[in-house]
Amino acid sequence: MCLMNLSYAFPPFIGYILDIYEYEFKVAAMAGNIFNFSGIAGALFSGVIMAKWEKFKRATYMVLFLTLGLLIMLYASIVVKNVAFLYTSFALTGFVGISIYGFVYEMLVEVGSPMTEAFVGGMVNLAANMGSFIFVVIFTEILKPRNETSVMIIFIILCITMIIAIVLMRFVKF
């Protein structure tokens, strides 16, 4: 769920963050599109994987750990100001990070049994959007100074959130 919150809350800030590092607007727009379109591909890929490989908890751990590493790589790509590295980082982060959606729905439907899938799906969407709202409010305040330190703080929060998600997965019976 944490990753869903972040993937909903992070894209609105892509242009703002890249502007702080003086990237051109077209680079920021392309980075956002790459993140979203690679995320669509990642979601489709994870759906195929889930259908064939029923080790959802292990797959979820893999996605969370990969996303944690990719967030660090994404931050590095923003800082070094290499557009090819930036695009690659956004593509990989979107592909892996957004692929978690299917795993989250599957896991919470299993954990939420005997509630209906529709009810659990609605609750997942509600929680993801509420969490995203909280992140957007927090990120907006953090980014007000419009400096590189505020961007670093955002990425630290993203990484801490991934670590919390990894720890919480330990307690899920799935």
Q: How many domains are there within the chain?
A: 1
Is the whole-model pTM more than 0.75?
yes
Domain range holding 136?
Answer: 2-169
Single-letter code of the amino acid located at 108: L
Please report whether residue 174 resides in a domain.
Answer: no
Q: Output the tens digit of pLDDT for each of the chain's 174 residues.
A: 666 766 778 888 999 999 999 999 999 999 999 999 999 999 899 888 877 877 777 888 888 899 999 999 999 999 999 999 999 999 999 999 888 877 777 777 777 778 888 888 888 888 888 988 999 999 999 999 999 999 999 999 999 999 998 998 888 776
Please report whether residue 93 resides in a domain.
Answer: yes
Please report whether residue 144 resides in a domain.
Answer: yes
Evaluate whether 67 touches 122 at the Cβ level (below 8 Å).
no
Please report whether residue 112 resides in a domain.
Answer: yes
Cβ-proximal residues to 166 (8 Å cutoff; 6+ apart), any chain? 61, 64, 65, 68
> For the domain that residue 95 is a member of, what is the CATH number?
1.20.1250.20
